[in-house]
Structure 1
Amino acid sequence: MKKLTSKEEEIMQILWKLKRAFVKDIMEEIMEDKPHYNTLSTIVRKLEDKGFVDHKSYGNTHQYFPIVSKEAYRKKYVTKTIEDYFNNSYQNLVTFFAKEDKISIEELKEIIDQLEKDN
């Protein structure tokens, strides 16, 4: 599975949300920096070439749908990020977010409580 560009990830987020969409449907979901229709169509076809989406043809138009789940993509690239930037340590990851004030002590305690309940 190849890493997606930020624009490709944005399009995949839309497809994961919509489940099935024509290019015009994807275009309607883009709030900022809307690409030209042909550019968006090219990005979607590249996603298809990379194996992330497939399509069903309706005459000259195509309805696209994801064939890679959001969960599968997230798992692959979160794991890769942790390996590359946090020395393969989830503790280092959590420490980073705590030091950056992205997660509070209370939230960490809630996570621990939830994990203890699940086990």
Structure 2
Amino acid sequence: MNKNLPHLTAKEEEIMTCLWSLEKAFVKEIAAHLDQNLHYNTVSTIVRNLEEKGFVEHQAFGKTHQYYPKISKEVYSEQVLNLNSQRFFNGSYKDMVSFFAKKEQISKEDLEDILKLINK
């Protein structure tokens, strides 16, 4: 990943996805929003780890904290796509898109839409 952004675990990504969706949330709200029932303390620990990694910031309300993303979903997504493009496709987005086309995970219509975006 980028030198500035450390790798996230699957659970950290799941919590970031919640925060990107909720925009601001207390730990109990994040825990309620997750697909799996994680204990409050587990969610709290993961959120604090995300804060240490620079992905999350908080606003204090007495002894409780409301957390919000410091890194946007778009910035993180770009980092992950760049990393995976390098790891699996030698940095070639053409090869990456071709891979999905061959696996029939991207339609002809999707490819035409991409071409329209490129030609703008």
The TM-score with structure 2 as length reference comes to: 0.91
Distance in 2, Cα, partners of 1:23 & 1:5: 18
Which residue, out of 48, 52, 75, partners 2:51?
48
SS at match of 1:13: helix
Separation of aligned partners in 2, 1:26 and 1:72: 21
Q: Separation in 1 of the partners of 2:58 and 2:96?
A: 37
Give the counterpart letter for 2:116 in structure 1: D
- Which of 99, 104, 110 is the matching residue for 1:101? 104
CA deviation map 1:27-56 (0-9, x unaligned): 11112x211110010000000011110111
Structure 1 gap ranges (5+):
none
Q: Which residue of 2 aligns with 1:74?
A: 77
Whole-Å Cα distance in 1 between the matches of residues 38 and 48 of structure 2?
A: 14
Tell me, yes or no, if structure 1 residue 114 matches structure 2 residue 117.
Answer: yes
Inter-partner Cα distance in structure 1 for 2:90 and 2:75: 22
Aligned length: 116
Q: Secondary structure at the match of 1:102?
A: coil
Indicate the SS of the match to 2:25: coil
**Quick one: distance in 1 between partners of 2:116 and 2:54?**
39
Gaps of 5+ in 2: none
Q: For each residue in 1:43-76, what CA deviation from the matched residue of structure 2 results, as whole angstroms up to 9, or x when unmatched?
A: 0000001111011111111100111111111111
Partner of 1:63: 66
- Superposition misfits of 4+ residues, deviation over 2 angstroms: none
- CA shift, 1:22, in A, is 0.1
TM-score for the superposition, normalised by structure 1: 0.92
The amino acid of 1:53's aligned partner reads V
Find the aligned partners of 1:104 and 1:55 in 2 and give their Cα distance: 41
Give the match for residue 26 of structure 2.
22
